[in-house]
Amino acid sequence: MALWRFWQQRGPMWEGRRILDRLLATRRGTDTVRGRAHGAAGGIAWWEGDFEAARRHYEAALPLLEHGDDRLAEASALYDVAFVVLWEAVLGGGLDADRAEELFGRSLAIADGLGDRRGRARALRGLGQVRGIARADAAGALPLFRESLSIAEEIGDRWEMNESVIAVGNGLRFSGDLAGAKRAYLSGIDLMAEAANTPALNGLLFLLAALESQMGNHERVVRLWGAAEASREASGAIAPPSSARLIGDPVGAARAAIGDVAVERGLAEGRAMDPAAIVPYAHAAGGSE
């Protein structure tokens, strides 16, 4: 069921979700097949911004895959449930940090037992998120994020590289190293532009806009935001629910700093930007304009 990444990267995601919903409604297939299908449906739901559906699918997948013959699928299911346990607190409180840590740890143990480097990278990143988000220790999470990134680079997995680059960027940003965070985000932007992964590229543009807001570059914020919004609408993607915590309201901050007229002008300029110009603009010098 790795096919769900096709819809996540190329869209439209509603199409993938509709197909998986129909397949699951037939109630056919082995536990392993159904478990993997639930995992795929959960991934699409997450990227559509439907946290409740993502959690429902992930929690349905785990008992179908736990202690089964497909240990890789089991490790992935453990990671997925840990992921929604972690982000449940971000969205509405009630974080069970110990459970998230235990599930990520079990996923890591299976990956290590199988020699699965990709699985190790994912689980380490998850454990880093527990430390950085649940334990409020962004600096302490960075070694885990950096090891995850190193493994992803070693195995040449571009998607895992991007996920870990974002994690490193977030860790640096919330540790106060804004310049380092910007370098990390731009590295991810380049990776996803090269892969033509528009939804992931858009997510990074929103993160960069949030960072530029912290740096006081409000004109750049609104142009980046307008460009990312237009691109996101064209791709049919919706930001995953984690975005609100990581991004905040940089457009609102820009309105307070430079006024509504400048913000609306900048948003319009961003929305009208040639898609080929977005990445070069992201790399452009940042100082206050």
Q: Is residue 186 part of a domain?
A: no
Q: Is residue 230 part of a domain?
A: yes
pTM of the model: 0.84
The model's pLDDT over 230-253, given as tens digits with 9 standing for 90+, comes to: 988 876 665 555 566 688 899 999
Residues 86 and 34 in one domain: no
Q: Is residue 146 part of a domain?
A: yes
- Number of other CB atoms surrounding residue 195 within 10 Å: 15
The mean-pLDDT minimum among 135-149, 199-213, 223-237 falls in 223-237
* CA 115 centroid distance within chain: 25
Residues 52 and 81 in one domain: no
Q: Is residue 155 part of a domain?
A: yes
For 279, the domain range is 197-289
Q: Is residue 185 part of a domain?
A: no
Per-residue pLDDT at 35:
84
* Total domains, the chain: 3
The answer on pLDDT for 282 being more than 90 is: yes
**DSSP for 198-243?**
HHHHHHHHHHHHHHHHHTT-HHHHHHHHHHHHHHHHHHT----TTH
**DSSP for 57-74?**
HHHHHHHHHTTSS-HHHH
The answer on pLDDT for 279 being more than 90 is: yes
The answer on pLDDT for 64 being more than 50 is: yes
Per-residue pLDDT at 288:
40
Angle at 182 between CA 176 and CA 183, to 5 degrees: 115
The answer on pLDDT for 284 being more than 80 is: yes
Element (H, E) at 265: helix 260-271
The answer on pLDDT for 95 being more than 90 is: no
The answer on pLDDT for 224 being more than 70 is: yes
Q: Is residue 187 part of a domain?
A: no
